[in-house]
Structure 1
Amino acid sequence: MSGSMVRGRKASTEAAAVIDGLLGVSRVLVGLTARSLGELDADVTLVQTRALVLLASRGPQRTVDLAVELNVAPSTVTRMCDRLVRKGLVERYRRGDDRRATWVVLSEAGRDLVGELMRQRRRAIADLVRSLPIEDPAGLAAALDSFVQAAGEIPEAQWTRRWRASAVRPADAIPA
């Protein structure tokens, strides 16, 4: 067997181990989110939570763009936003330059819910991290940051800044 085949098989095995590890981490993180939602007694589903988090990190969104991001039909996002509006977590509006498109923005209550959810998750993750023997914290942090960015997300410090400003409706907003 050639050296390149051995290296290729080893790289494939190592990649599979990383993938398996990240799958386990994803189960833990979804579990932490569900637990945090239960502790907050928040009457929102995981998909609704994802929509709220997207609005917090990316600002106001057209409903059609939110549907693409969530990988659901636009009608599904419309119904989901109906529920979130009734719960006071988002507001709908139209823009003066295009009254056909409906936009969604977090309400202050929605921003506050996302903030509290993130604070609870941060505490739970911090507890887990403190229990780990991490040999290279800076290296691990850099690898995780690269993973986050590869997934199209933004680093935590940038996310926090966007979250703080997420309940601001644009000046040209017209209630929908």
Structure 2
Amino acid sequence: MVAIADSTLEHATGQLTLTQFHALRVVSERTPVTMSRVAGELAMNPSTVTRACERLTSLDLLQKAPNPLNRRETLLAPTAKGRQLVGQVDEDRRRVLAGVLDRLDDDVRAAVLTAFADFARVATPDAL
């Protein structure tokens, strides 16, 4: 699974680290969001997230704006290009995973899908 995640990210863009992509995903899923919330979601040091977001901004994948409710905070949102990248990586991962599952015997595939469903049910962010 990690190899699939890494290869699809590398295929979509050789410019991003896994940390940068994770930050982009969090921002895409929780727009608008503050840097501190992204750091909390990723359980990372705020300075690391700030550097990752600066890189995403320089690549036109993320945009920043001052929070009108709190001038000390910066709000983050993905650009259209950023949303497209997240969507492309997700699509590529589904395609690769489907190809792997298609190579399994029917009974093994059914068991794997059941195991994935069980895993997804218990692997909530709160449980990690």
Same fold (TM > 0.5): yes
Aligned residue in 2 for 1:152: 124
Q: 3-state SS of the aligned residue for 2:44?
A: coil
Quote the offset at 1:96 in angstroms. 1.8
CA 1:109 to 1:74, structure 2 compared with 1: closer, same or farther past 3 Å?
same
Structure 2 counterparts to residues 107-118 of structure 1, below 5 A? 107-118=79-90
Q: Which has the larger radius of gyration?
A: 1
**Hey, what does 2:28 align to over in structure 1?**
56
Per the TM alignment, residue 77 of structure 1 is displaced from its structure 2 partner at its CA by: 0.9
TM-score, structure 1 as length reference? 0.62
State the match for 1:127 in structure 2.
99
Instruction: Report the alpha carbon displacement of residue 130 of structure 1 after superposing the two structures with TM.
Output: 0.6
Q: In the alignment, what sits opposite 2:45?
A: 73
* Structure 2 counterpart of 1:38, one-letter code: E
CA separation in 2, counterparts of 1:75 and 1:149? Answer: 32
Q: CA deviation at 1:122?
A: 0.9
Mapped to 2, the partners of 1:92 and 1:110 lie a distance apart of 13
Q: Which of 49, 57, 61 matches 1:89?
A: 61
Count of paired positions: 125
CA distance in structure 2 between the aligned counterparts of 1:65 and 1:146, rounded to whole angstroms: 28
Cα separation, partners in 2 of 1:152 and 1:61, compared to 1, 3 Å:
farther
TM-score of the two chains, using structure 2 as the length reference? 0.82
Question: Partners in 2 of 1:30 and 1:146 — Cα distance?
Answer: 19
In structure 2, list runs of 5 or more residues that go unmatched.
none
Point out which structure has higher relative CO (alpha carbons under 8 A, 6+ apart): 1
**Which residue number corresponds to residue 14 of structure 1?**
none
> Per the alignment, do residues 108 and 138 of structure 1 end up closer, same or farther by CA in structure 2, a change over 3 Å counting?
same
Identical-pair percentage = 31
Whole-angstrom distance in 1 between the partners of 2:81 and 2:88:
10
1:114 is matched by which residue type in structure 2?
Answer: V
Structure 2: distance between partners of 1:142 and 1:103: 39
Task: Tell me the C-alpha RMSD between the 2 structures.
Answer: 2.2
